[in-house]
Amino acid sequence: MPMATDIAFAVTLLALLGSRAPLWLKSFVTALAIADDIMAVLVIAFFYSGALDLTALAWAAAFVAGLAALNLSRVMRPAPYVLLTLGLWYFVLQSGIHATIAGVVAAAFVPASLGRFGSAARDAADKLRDRLEALEESDVPREAWELVDEREADLEEIAEAAARRSAPLYRLEHAIHPWSAFLILPVFAFANAGVGISFDDLGATLGGPLALGIMIGLFFGKQIGITGAAWLAVRTGIGRLPEGGRWTQIWGGAALAGIGFTMSIFIAALAFPSPEELATAKLAILLGSLASAAAGVALLRMTGDPGAD
């Protein structure tokens, strides 16, 4: 549960911090949160799956092979990938492996670049850019509503053409994002985040090994593990701090990575069938995440440069 970083909350806080959280730190925390969630999905797949159905697993492998064939053939339309991913998800679900692993596998095969179509896309982008510049330079009087409507229609057509020429992975991401951000995640949060708190035995609940393990893991574990790993990478020459970067900023980003919510609660629901244990885990996730958020914001506000770009 402490492994998973809630990308939405962490990135939102970084955005609210503005220039006190430099761009490199936002990129670092975002990449870290994605890696955390991928590892959390793998934990679910390996430790919270049922007995394997080899027939369903063989069908799932066939759909993976189909996705690989699409990728090698440089198919740029998202629709074939979506259809094969739906089939992969179904057979992974039937195989006994947790179905979340299907999304990780499928995403690895959707092209994130235009490959040999890149030159054609660049030519098309140049033409669109020229057309957009011509529209921006044209002088359209505000009262000429018919001309204004035509211009707006042209701008919409340019935007749609530009979207069609982006890589399939980004097109799918932008298509799915509104549904994920404004429907799936809120429904999940409302359905699973309810925590009943009994103040009579609150101290005993939070002092137990389950709650302490989660809270210490989210608050101290993330800060020590991420900051320590980054320090070790720099000391061994594997990585380096960005120009102007400070260790206190890494520390603040590591604290924000202790915010766990959606995936943490999801794993808790799989790990603890007992309602009492699940409620304790949810409360610990909430308190550990709030403490991590407060620590991360405080560190970055104290040490960040308010005038930095």
Q: How would residue 117 be classed by pLDDT, with cut points 50, 70 and 90?
A: very low
CA distance readout (Å), 16 to 11, 204, 249, 279: 9, 36, 15, 30
- pLDDT over 90 (residue 30): no
**pLDDT per position as a tens digit, 126-136:** 665 665 666 55
**Greatest Cα pair distance in the chain:** 72
**Helix (H) or strand (E) segment spanning residue 266:** helix 262-271
d(CA 109, CA 68): 6
User: E-assigned strands of the chain?
Assistant: none
| Tokens representing residue 278 in the block | 């699940």
Residue-wise pLDDT tens digits, 243-252 = 888 999 999 9
pLDDT(81) > 80: yes
Q: Average pLDDT of the chain?
A: 80
With a cut of 80, say whether residue 65 has pLDDT above it. Answer: yes
pLDDT in tens, 33-54: 888 888 888 888 778 877 778 8
pTM score, whole prediction: 0.65
Among left, alpha and beta (phi > 0; psi -120 to 50; other), residue 237 is left
Report the pLDDT value the prediction gives residue 214, as an integer from 0 to 100.
93
> How many Å separate Cα 11 from the centre of its chain?
9
> Among the listed ranges 146-155, 218-227, 244-253, 294-303, which one has the minimum average pLDDT value?
146-155
